[in-house]
Amino acid sequence: MEKQIVVCIIKNKKRELLLQKKTLDYPPYPGAWSVIGGEAESENLHKEMEREIKEEIGIKLKPKFIFKEKATLKRGKSIFYVFSAKLNEISRIKIGEGAGVAFFSKKELKKLNINPESKKILNIYLNKF
């Protein structure tokens, strides 16, 4: 059975994207950068996305669904439900998971160690939106 994963691409007014640095003990991609998100625990994907944002960065945002993508990676077969949201003040963030967060420009993204799942989602987003 395919896992349902909700992820959110959060951007600021400079069109930079927010990524989360995973801890060094995080399986399966320790120390990698990733988009905010996780496995859905209920059928209400919008509420699941809001929950993941609140858990990981401690704030309430209004995510908007933009696309879905199937993938088979280390997690197995998954369907990624991709949302987007805007956040201009990083000072509002209270880290709940991971080692930290930062905004990155499109150029800076190319230099980062981004987990393959997030990289695939970001590439689709950057090419379509």
User: For residue 12, which phi and psi values (nearest 5 degrees)?
Assistant: -105, -175
- Residue 92 CA to residue 89 CA, distance in Å, equals 6
Q: Percentage helix, strand, coil, to 5, in the chain? A: 25, 35, 40
Q: How much is the pLDDT for 1?
A: 79
- Residue 62 CA to residue 81 CA, distance in Å, equals 15
The kind and range of the H/E element at 102 are strand 100-104
98-113 residue pLDDT tens: 999 999 999 999 999 9
Q: What is the pLDDT along the chain (129 residues), one digit of tens a residue?
A: 789 999 999 999 999 999 999 999 988 899 999 999 999 999 999 999 999 999 999 999 999 999 999 987 776 799 999 999 999 989 999 999 999 999 999 999 999 999 999 999 999 999 998
The DSSP annotation for 49-99 comes to HHHHHHHHHS-----EEEEEEEEEETTEEEEEEEEEEE---GGG----SSS
Q: Give the residue from 129, 92, 104 showing the smallest Cα distance to 35.
A: 104
Tell me the three state secondary structure of residue 47.
helix
Q: How much is the pLDDT for 71?
A: 86
- Residue 22 CA to residue 37 CA, distance in Å, equals 12
Domains and their CATH numbers in the chain? 3-128 (3.90.79.10)
Predicted TM-score (pTM) of this structure: 0.94
Q: How much is the pLDDT for 76?
A: 79
Query: What is the distance of C-alpha 44 from the center of its chain?
Result: 18
